[in-house]
Structure 1
Amino acid sequence: MSEDFYDVLGVSRDADEDEIKKAYRKKATEYHPDVSDDPNAEEKFKKVKKAKEVLTDEEKRSAYDRMGHDRFEQAEKRGGFDGGGGGQRGNPFGGGGGMGGGMGGFEDIFNNLFNGGGGGQRGNRPQKGADLRTRLTLDLEDAYEGVEKQVTVTRPEACPDCDGKGHPADADVETCPECNGQGQTTTVQQTPFGRMQQTQTCRRCGGDGELYSETCSTCGGDGQVRNEATLSVDIPAGIRDGQSLRMEREGAPGENGGPNGDLLIEIQITDHETLRREGDDLYVQLPISFPQAAFGATVDVETLDGTVEMDVPEGTQSGETFRLKGKGMPRLQRRGQGDLYVQVQVVTPESLNKEQKAALEQFAEAGGDEVEVKEGFFEKIKNSF
């Protein structure tokens, strides 16, 4: 499981709070130690919980986005966000008062939070590309067997003519006068803690620190173009409707040399003509005749793995359900399969020939449901059908 909090929850970096909470609930259910078979479930559950706590806290999320995962974790360990060492939340200098001695390592934390003094140019820092989403429709047979499918997506890609730079290689270049080549501009504010400076990416040069005489005619200076890509995706046996598959690094391109985002494929499974799915189990209704129900019979049942035989015992009532163990869906990432539940429905014939009518009239005259009829009479009815 990736350490990055966005990857842990499987959301894009611009996901809103509702998306984050929804993803958390799904992951928490998947990795809860009480229900998960994953040997590392407890560790993964803790990571999911930590990711949700950070990304649903506006202050912490802002800091996390600015600092990156490793620096954020270091800052938390040093007490920068949870009031460690006697400090109050939101005051990275602690409760000792002011900006005087004892500030210790908090100066670095503060600079990281606001990209201040020597914190680096945010615009030039490698950033992971955005995650993309698409849907793939399967039938129940595909979900049962596990197959390889192709999915076509339209996605941004690095412009091939300018290599993602947004300008021709031979374009004239000059230093940005707005930021003096720094790629960032700095503003100073007076706060109760003293003068604080905040650094932002330069709006004129976009953080490059340079301006170019030409823009790429292919991408218009964006550095990206949109192309169709056809990808092969392996569908695991037993996948359920609504689940998503992640194809790493198949999303939007990163910035400043950062890695591509991921492609998330949401699975939709169409309804089957006769079978109904609940979890890993399947359900089907099977019509049988009155003689089959009365005398018992061996009937054929269609499953996703071919036809199997099932014994219907003598005296079976309409609506009774029988279980065929192991004839359901494969258990995703686990051993074994679910079961197939067969509900029999005794079909009353809509029309009878003379022999059939005579046999039933004989049955009715003999006392109907309340009379105990000899086996020879049932054989006569059975033969008449």
Structure 2
Amino acid sequence: MSKRDYYDILGVTRSSDGAEIKTAYRKLAIKYHPDKNPDDKAAEDKFKEAAEAYEILSNPEKRQRYDQFGHSGNSASGFGGGNMNMDDIFSQFGDIFGGGSPFEGFFGGGRSSRGNGRRVQKGTNLRIKVKLTLEEIAKGVEKKIKVNKQVACETCDGTGAKDKSSYHTCSTCQGSGSVRRVTNTILGQMQTTSTCPTCNGQGVEITAKCTVCKGDGLVRGEETISINIPAGVSEGMQLSMSGKGNAAPHGGIPGDLIILVEEVVHESLKRDGINVIYDLYINFADAALGTSIEVPTIDGKAKIKIDPGTQAGKILRLKGKGVPEVNSYHKGDQLVYVNIWTPKAVSAEERSLLEKLKTSVNFKPQPGKSEKSFFERIKEYFE
């Protein structure tokens, strides 16, 4: 069966603005709300239908797609496929009815109250920097860090009360954190729900505060936290540890610990993504005659072969000697850039030898037989 037009559902026109659409939806939401129409399947279907129409028409981008393509224009939306969920609907209503529980001002919360209404606070997040060497980044590491943060007061066990007799269930709301009032309106008898003024939504009363934490239930403390950092992380990357931030008042939910990765500069290796670069400097004789030489890597020393006649700018690759990708088995390579070191001063004997070499046929540049340029070699390497 084809769907009804969203504008018809809300009783508005295609030229209606956002305020008119919101007002129309508010009226329908009140009229067909399940708490006002218990066990009425027809009313529940109209309630869902109105919610779907409002979800599309209240969003400028979705409304434009609907105007242009009809119902198919928002087929990827969370609504419109018969998959409506009451919790999904209620979560959309903060801007309609104002407040965390969208229908609490009309029906005492109903299905949207989600529990007893007691306010649970969450602690604030903490941010720290962790410095890592290239070796630690390549292999992954476990770091033990001392973090200064808010922790539950040991004197009062985080309650904020001086003793057990000073901490008890709120007599006004009976621990629910909210109070309800029934009023008669033209729509019938309605309930209004609001935060308990006695306990401020906590559900408990404190008659005498803890002398250490002054009733907050929190004090400054230090905790040693073990952080497992995976291999392959990079500068500026953020890791998160749930529940390792500041504690929350009165046994609430702790915040999170955000770890910012900072790379320590290596003395001889440079990182380029998952690859590692090393600048190798050899003398003219070794370049001409060839040699074997040790170069540093993340895992220690590695011996490489320099072929006779090696030109400046040649790139040698050590496969698998780079950094792994995060949460992957793939590893980069180490690229060795060959540089020919030219002495700035020579002795009289060295000068004499070089003067003789200048006239040798093998030491003269040969047109048409020159090596490829440095940039051409890099392009070939990556191709």
Matches within 5 A, 1:172-251: 183-184=177-178, 199-209=193-203, 211-251=205-245
Partner of 1:292: 286
Q: 2:136 aligns with which of 139, 142, 145?
A: 142
SS where residue 202 of structure 2 aligns?
coil
Return the letter of the residue paired with 2:237.
Q
1:115 aligns with 2:104: yes
| Alignment check: 8 A CA contact 1:121 1:183 kept | no
Alpha-carbon separation, structure 2, partners of 1:180 and 1:250: 32
Structure 1 residues 323 and 194, CA, compared in 2 at 3 Å: closer, same or farther?
farther
Partner of 1:253: 247
| Alignment check: 8 A CA contact 1:124 1:256 kept | no
Q: 2:331 aligns with which of 313, 321, 337?
A: 337
Question: Deviation string for 1:35-93 (max 9, x for gaps)?
Answer: xxxxxxxxxxxxxxxxxxxxxxxxxxxxxxxxxxxxxxxxxx989789555556699xx
Return the letter of the residue paired with 1:369.
K
Identify which range, 252-261 or 237-246, moves more after superposition. 252-261
Partner of 1:171: 166
Structure 1 residues 235 and 78, CA, compared in 2 at 3 Å: closer, same or farther?
farther
Work out which of the two has the higher radius of gyration on C-alpha atoms and give 1 or 2.
2
Structure 1 residues 207 and 86, CA, compared in 2 at 3 Å: closer, same or farther?
closer
The alpha-carbon deviation at position 336 of structure 1 amounts to 3.8
Structure 1 residues 288 and 205, CA, compared in 2 at 3 Å: closer, same or farther?
same
Question: Deviation string for 1:288-324 (max 9, x for gaps)?
Answer: 0001111222221111111111122222222222211
Alpha-carbon separation, structure 2, partners of 1:270 and 1:314: 36
| TM-score, scaled relative to structure 1 | 0.61
Structure 1 residues 362 and 256, CA, compared in 2 at 3 Å: closer, same or farther?
same
Alpha-carbon separation, structure 2, partners of 1:78 and 1:161: 54
Partner of 1:346: 340
Partner of 2:302: 308
| Alignment check: 8 A CA contact 1:184 1:200 kept | yes
**Structure 1 unaligned regions, length at least 5:** 1-76, 92-104, 373-385
Structure 1 residues 128 and 343, CA, compared in 2 at 3 Å: closer, same or farther?
same
| Alignment check: 8 A CA contact 1:297 1:312 kept | yes
Alpha-carbon separation, structure 2, partners of 1:218 and 1:342: 61
The alpha-carbon deviation at position 180 of structure 1 amounts to 8.8
Return the letter of the residue paired with 2:364.
D
Alpha-carbon separation, structure 1, partners of 2:256 and 2:130: 16
Structure 1 residues 126 and 205, CA, compared in 2 at 3 Å: closer, same or farther?
closer
Question: Deviation string for 1:219-239 (max 9, x for gaps)?
Answer: 111111121111122222222
| Alignment check: 8 A CA contact 1:328 1:340 kept | yes
SS where residue 273 of structure 1 aligns?
coil
- Give the aligned length: 281
Structure 1 residues 86 and 244, CA, compared in 2 at 3 Å: closer, same or farther?
closer
| Alignment check: 8 A CA contact 1:123 1:208 kept | no
Question: Deviation string for 1:326-384 (max 9, x for gaps)?
Answer: 11113322114210111111011123233322211111234651489xxxxxxxxxxxx
Partner of 1:8: none
Alpha-carbon separation, structure 1, partners of 2:46 and 2:323: 50
Structure 1 residues 285 and 194, CA, compared in 2 at 3 Å: closer, same or farther?
farther
Partner of 1:30: none
Partner of 2:118: 124
| Alignment check: 8 A CA contact 2:120 2:202 kept | no
SS where residue 344 of structure 1 aligns?
strand
Structure 1 residues 148 and 272, CA, compared in 2 at 3 Å: closer, same or farther?
same
Return the letter of the residue paired with 2:352.
A
| Alignment check: 8 A CA contact 2:129 2:262 kept | yes
Structure 1 residues 192 and 157, CA, compared in 2 at 3 Å: closer, same or farther?
farther
Structure 1 residues 257 and 238, CA, compared in 2 at 3 Å: closer, same or farther?
same
| Alignment check: 8 A CA contact 2:117 2:176 kept | no
Q: 2:312 aligns with which of 309, 318, 329?
A: 318
The alpha-carbon deviation at position 254 of structure 1 amounts to 4.7
1:360 aligns with 2:349: no
| TM-score, scaled relative to structure 2 | 0.61
Question: Deviation string for 1:104-148 (max 9, x for gaps)?
Answer: x79x94794243415378762445544332111112122123222
| Alignment check: 8 A CA contact 2:161 2:167 kept | no
Alpha-carbon separation, structure 1, partners of 2:114 and 2:358: 95
Partner of 2:321: 327
Alpha-carbon separation, structure 1, partners of 2:130 and 2:212: 31
| Alignment check: 8 A CA contact 1:146 1:235 kept | yes
1:270 aligns with 2:264: yes
Partner of 2:67: none
SS where residue 113 of structure 1 aligns?
coil
SS where residue 124 of structure 1 aligns?
coil
Structure 1 residues 332 and 321, CA, compared in 2 at 3 Å: closer, same or farther?
same
Question: RMSD over aligned Cα, in angstroms?
Answer: 4.0
Alpha-carbon separation, structure 2, partners of 1:285 and 1:172: 68
Partner of 1:369: 364
